[in-house]
């Protein structure tokens, strides 16, 4: 019995498509929410060689979206657990594990061994590293990325098509885009985006259909918006000669924070809660808490009245990003005071209020 | 002029789309190029102006700063996202 019968029966795929998969070497960077569905499907479908790059261990809070791992695996190496599962799923695949994070020292050597690369990472520095290494080595790569309820998918550097830098030329600075799992991901969304990445890998390898090259798909799961944007290649980003010295730190900065519901209780209890709203003046004027003092992030300085504050000072913005930055800055300039960033900002407070009403 | 919002732009502005009133409503000229739209939005929402990379789609295609805008164009802000 041929295990690939069902896909070989497909007109346009056939035995020829299966042969191409069997000969293909695919590297998957990251075995998290995106990487797991990618490796499970590519492994099941008969990709000949699967390379896996991951150095993390399984954490309990991974399990809501990284569905290959079980409760028994918490604390174990993701790579080891995944390799064991994938070997049991398909003994014909040649699996190659790299117990490492991709970095400027190993990227070119590892990627050079493969035909297609899958960017299933969770941080910008590694995404830009993968892009640059694939451009240098002339390898196509399938990009997927998430935020909250949304995801993006594209095929970059494929047959002269645009690269990641043609879409987003510059690496975002540390704090401007939510960069950590702590910002939240709905468990099923990486499953959808990762599965789309696996599909694109199969299309690139076998030549069926039209790979998502020259366009990026943006998917919003909340209302099923599927937005596609065409992208043109830019020659200046197709001729990268060498990697950058450094792609910056991949770590997330954590500051003390308070959830919206807990914060609402605090302001209901305290007579004069110290709240600083760090949004711009127009944003503040549109809608703000009556107790909140407006000091836009760009002019952030603690007023005299708060410099000897005995109780906590709460920092608020629209979504909880700027308040994080503000808390980090204020902690540095006023190490003796206590600051909290209000998680989710005004968006979360408004949601809480609506829920109560 | 309607602007669809994705990723962090949705968080910064606090909704999933944004309507920019035409001149007949406000008496002020609506942005007539992608660059003017960027400046207009950055003034209103400084966090948008601070993004290192922000792609703007006009009628489902990546638009350069000099591209002219018409009131009936469909515009979308596509920022990078990093989670995985």
pLDDT tens for A2-32 read 999 999 999 999 999 999 999 999 999 999 9
| pLDDT at res. A253 | 54
Span B30-49, pLDDT tens digits:
899 999 999 999 999 998 99
The residues near A165 (Cβ < 8 Å, ≥ 6 apart) are A128, A131, A132, A135, A234, A237
CATH number at residue B35: 3.10.20.30
Find all residues with CB under 8 Å of A24, minimum gap 6, and list them: A47, A48, A49, A115, A116, A205
To the nearest whole number, what is the mean pLDDT of chain A? 93
Residue at B9 is within a domain: yes
Distance from CA of B24 to the nearest CA of A (A): 22
Q: Say if B84 falls within a structural domain.
A: no
Are the beta carbons of B62 and A127 separated by less than 8 Å? no
Report the chain B residue with the minimal C-alpha distance to residue A153. B81
Give the integer Cα–Cα distance in Å for B61 and A231. Answer: 6
* Assigned domain for B45 exists: yes
Residue A247 is encoded by which pair of tokens? 């792609």
Domain annotation covers residue B33: yes
B42 contacts chain A (CB < 8 A): no
**3-class DSSP state of B79:** coil
In the Cβ-directed half-sphere of A69, how many Cα atoms lie within 13 Å? 27
Percent of chain A's residues with pLDDT above 70: 96
Is residue B83 in a domain? Answer: no
Question: What is the number of H-type helices and E-type strands within chain B?
Answer: 4, 5
The band of B28, judged by pLDDT with boundaries at 50, 70 and 90, is confident
Domains of chain A: 5-237 (3.40.50.720), 257-356 (3.40.250.10)
Confidence check: pLDDT of A54 > 90: yes
Q: Are A192 and A36 in contact (CB under 8 A)?
A: no
Catalytic residue list of A? 180, 317
Tokens coding B18: 């944004």
Is the pLDDT reported for residue A249 higher than 70? no
* CA end-to-end span of chain A: 61
Q: Which of A125, A226, A229 to mutate to test the interface with B (most CBs of B within 10 A)?
A: A229
Contact A298 B12 (CB under 8 A): no
Give me the number of domains chain B comprises: 1
Name which of A168, A214, A351 to mutate to probe chain B: the one with the most chain B Cβ atoms within 10 A of its Cβ: A168
Q: Is the pLDDT of residue A226 over 60?
A: yes
Q: Is the pLDDT of residue A127 over 90?
A: yes
Beta bridge partners of A293: A276
Neighbouring CB atoms inside 10 A of A97's CB total 17
Residue A183 · residue A145 · CB < 8 Å: no
Question: Could you tell me which chain A residue has the CA closest to the CA of B61?
Answer: A230
B7: containing domain: 2-78
**Is residue A45 classed as helix, strand or coil in its secondary structure?**
helix
Q: Is residue B14 part of a domain?
A: yes
* Nearest chain A CA: its distance from B23 CA (Å): 20
Instruction: Answer whether A280 sits within 8 Å of B61, measured CB to CB.
Output: no
Q: At what angle do helices A188-206 and A14-23 cross, to 10 degrees?
A: 100
In angstroms, what separates the C-alpha of A19 from chain B's closest C-alpha?
30
Give the length of chain A: 357
Residues 6+ apart with CB under 8 A from A100: A53, A55, A106
A282 or A85, which is more confident? A85
A144 CB near a chain B CB, below 8 Å?
yes
Q: Indicate whether B64 belongs to any domain.
A: yes
Tokens at A189, concatenated:
């969304």
With beta carbons under 8 A apart, name residues in chain B contacting A178: 8, 11, 82-83
CA–CA separation, B69 and B84 (whole Å): 34
- Beta carbons within 8 Å of A136's beta carbon, 6+ residues apart: A108, A240, A241, A242, A243
In a domain? residue B19 = yes
Least confident range of A106-115, A245-254, B67-76 = A245-254
Mean pLDDT over each residue of chain B, to the nearest integer: 92
Determine whether the interchain pair A229/B4 forms a contact, defined as Cβ–Cβ distance below 8 Å. Answer: no
Helix/strand/coil for A251: coil
């Amino acid at each position: 019995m041929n295990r690939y019968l069902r896909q070989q029966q497909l007109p346009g795929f056939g035995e020829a498509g299966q042969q191409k998969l069997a000969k293909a070497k695919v590297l998957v960077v990251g075995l998290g929410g995106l990487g797991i569905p990618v490796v499970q499907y590519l492994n099941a479908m008969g990709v000949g060689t699967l390379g896996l790059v991951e150095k993390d261990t399984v954490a309990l809070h991974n399990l809501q979206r990284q569905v290959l791992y079980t409760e028994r695996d918490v604390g174990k190496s993701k790579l080891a657990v995944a390799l064991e599962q994938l070997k049991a799923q398909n003994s014909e695949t040649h699996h190659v594990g790299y117990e490492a994070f991709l970095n400027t020292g190993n990227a070119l050597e590892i990627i050079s061994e493969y035909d297609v690369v899958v960017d299933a990472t969770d941080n910008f520095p590694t995404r830009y590293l993968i892009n640059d290494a694939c451009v240098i080595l002339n390898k196509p790569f399938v990009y997927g990325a998430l935020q909250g309820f949304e995801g993006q998918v594209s095929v970059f550097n494929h047959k002269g098509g645009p690269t990641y830098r043609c879409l987003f030329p510059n690496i975002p600075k540390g704090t401007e885009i939510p960069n950590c799992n702590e910002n939240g991901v709905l468990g099923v969304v990486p499953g959808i985006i990762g599965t789309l990445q696996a599909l694109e890998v199969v299309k690139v390898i076998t030549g069926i259909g039209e790979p998502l090259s020259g366009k990026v798909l943006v998917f919003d799961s909340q209302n099923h918006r599927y937005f596609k944007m065409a992208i043109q290649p830019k020659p200046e980003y197709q001729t990268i000669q060498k990697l950058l010295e450094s792609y910056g730190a991949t770590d997330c900065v954590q500051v003390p924070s308070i959830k919206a519901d807990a914060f609402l209780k605090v302001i209901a209890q305290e007579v004069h809660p110290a709240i600083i709203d760090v949004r711009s003046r127009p944003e503040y004027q549109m809608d703000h808490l009556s107790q909140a003092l407006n000091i836009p992030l760009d002019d952030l300085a603690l007023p005299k009245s708060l410099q000897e504050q005995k109780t906590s000072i709460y920092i608020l913005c629209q979504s909880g990003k700027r308040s994080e930055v503000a808390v980090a800055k204020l902690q540095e300039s006023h190490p003796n005071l206590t600051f909290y960033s209000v998680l989710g900002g005004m968006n979360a407070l408004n949601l809480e209020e609506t829920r109560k009403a | 002029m309607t602007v669809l919002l994705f990723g962090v732009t949705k968080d910064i502005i606090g909704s999933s789309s944004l309507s920019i009133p035409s001149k007949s409503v406000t008496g002020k000229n609506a942005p007539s190029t992608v660059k003017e739209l960027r400046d207009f939005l950055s003034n209103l929402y400084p966090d948008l102006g601070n993004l290192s990379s922000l792609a703007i789609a006009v009628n489902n295609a990546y638009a350069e700063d000099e591209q002219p805008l018409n009131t009936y164009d469909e515009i979308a802000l596509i920022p990078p996202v990093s989670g995985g």
